[in-house]
Amino acid sequence: MKKFTTVLVWFRNDLRLHDNEALARAVRDADYVLPVYCFDDRHFTTTSLGFPKTGAFRAQFLRESVEDTQAALRSRGADLLIRRGLPEVILPQLARDIGAQAVYFHEEVADEELLVEQALVEALSKTLVNNTPVQDVSFWGSTLHHLDDIPFNTEQLPDVFTQFRKDVEKKSKVRTVFPVPPVMTMPPAFSNLPKQELPSLKELCPTSDIPTPDARAVLPFKGGETQALKRLAEYFWERDCLKTYKETRNGLIGADYSSKFSAWLALGCVSPRFIFAEVQRYEQERVANDSTYWLVFELLWRDFFRFTARKYDTALFRVSGIMNVKRSWNLDWKAFECWKTGTTGVPFVDANMRELLLTGFMSNRGRQNVASYLVKDMKLHWLMGAEWFESQLVDYDVCSNYGNWNYAAGIGNDPREDRYFNIPKQASMYDPHGDYVRRWLEKG
């Protein structure tokens, strides 16, 4: 017997049908399931320093991902109800309108997302359906290793990645993937609900230019679970790139020097557990080597930043960082404009910054270098860089972005205090013939 007649499923950064516990449990627990996505207006305001919080590249990728989720649900006889506004206002009202007894969703860890969750939970507790408060039912589904399975509680989480990795590898197992629910039944009242169209990119980002494709981009990133699974199939199985991932991952040009899964991971279009399962299958059917291990190693770094954000809460965004290091930071906007636009006069830095500006993406090697240059050479405030990345990166992930900027600024998880990148040396190592610099700095 089902626990509920009707359940709302609130989609957030979990825009997929595979390995979606909130969706799978709702289908198991209820006769009727109504999936909902809210375009939260707060995501389209400005950062503390005045940058668009969600720039056009990110917004476009998000639109595509929501549209793909809606299409996938429709192909199974269901749908995705789209709304624009505050989830803590919209979802309780929807619950009343269709008589939903519960709202299922995946938990987040960063401050802004948690405040929305808390507001929703409070609002649901005051929303009565059949004289009973609407229940909130949350799940953990954003990391490779489940929160309940890592061998330490939040307060005991190591501050050094190596210790975290060794303990997790030794004592924690990755859970199996939830299958796509075979049948989803929409509530009868769904047909009476007013429908809203997917907001246009111009509606979401009225002050931003519509992104134009750049032929030099590493990949034409397109949002959605369909594209995520297509990319994985191509990278692993069609082009057999996984076997050399460790050797090529520090590349700068082209689609296949790294997996490029980060954008789809950021919005949950692909599950890290699904990637892990495919790596295991690849190891069984093709080869197991340092490269297959290293891709999982990078997923562990992603876990580490997410658990660290949970441990330190708002400290991740504090000027002194998670280690509470007191330093004075310079807000020189003229100098920052040179960094932002790729006009510092340092070719390797400028090439990377122009790639970001024109495509919404930059390699991991590039990110480390431009971050180091901003805070160590230019002596500028690390939050200027972190918030610019938040605005621009198509693969922006709050925990990885701010965790890495804490790291770069010497106020985060780094046992080597004040790690410095020698930019000319880095350029000679990773762009020895200047191909990358010419690609972005020479006029075509």
For the question of whether the overall pTM of this predicted structure is more than 0.85, the answer is yes
Helix (H, G, I), strand (E, B) or coil at 264: helix
CATH topology of domain 1-141: Rossmann fold (3.40.50)
Residue 62 identity: L
Containing 38, the helix (H) or strand (E) segment is strand 30-39
Neighbours of 197 (CB within 10 A): 8
Helix (H, G, I), strand (E, B) or coil at 410: coil
Contacts of 28 (CB under 8 A, 6+ apart): none
What pLDDT is recorded for position 416? Answer: 65
Task: Output the CATH code of domain 142-175+224-317.
Answer: 1.25.40.80
> Cα–Cα distance between 343 and 350 in angstroms, integer?
6
Helix (H, G, I), strand (E, B) or coil at 173: coil
DSSP structure class, residue 416: S
Helix (H, G, I), strand (E, B) or coil at 6: strand
CATH topology of domain 318-441: DNA Cyclobutane Dipyrimidine Photolyase, subunit A; domain 3 (1.10.579)
Containing 10, the helix (H) or strand (E) segment is strand 4-11
Q: Which pLDDT tens digit goes with each residue over 269-282? A: 999 999 999 999 99
What pLDDT is recorded for position 208? Answer: 82
CA dihedral 283, 287, 290, 292 (to 10 degrees): -40
- C-alpha distance from residue 238 to each of 51, 231, 235, 244 (Å): 40, 10, 6, 14
What pLDDT is recorded for position 418? Answer: 65
Contacts of 173 (CB under 8 A, 6+ apart): 149
Tokens, residue 318: 């504090």
Question: Could you tell me the residue ranges of all domains in the chain?
Answer: 1-141, 142-175+224-317, 318-441
Backbone angles phi, psi at 105, to 5 degrees: -160, 165
Please list the pLDDT of the chain residue by residue as tens digits (444 residues). Answer: 899 999 999 999 999 999 999 999 999 999 999 999 999 999 999 999 999 999 999 999 999 999 999 999 999 999 999 999 999 999 999 999 999 999 999 999 999 999 999 999 999 999 999 999 999 999 999 999 999 999 999 999 999 999 999 999 999 999 999 999 998 999 999 999 999 999 999 999 998 888 899 999 999 999 999 999 999 999 999 999 999 999 999 999 999 999 999 999 999 999 999 999 999 999 999 999 999 999 999 999 999 999 999 999 999 999 999 999 999 999 999 999 999 999 999 999 999 999 999 999 999 999 999 999 999 999 999 999 999 999 999 999 999 999 999 999 999 987 565 678 999 999 999 999 999 999 999 874
Kindly give the interhelix angle for 290-312 and 398-408, rounded to the nearest 10 degrees.
90
What pLDDT is recorded for position 195? Answer: 94
What pLDDT is recorded for position 417? Answer: 59
What pLDDT is recorded for position 296? Answer: 98
What pLDDT is recorded for position 420? Answer: 87
> Measured between alpha carbons, how far apart are the two ends of the chain, in Å?
66
Location of structure tokens 């919080």: 53
Tokens, residue 173: 């197992």
Helix (H, G, I), strand (E, B) or coil at 33: strand
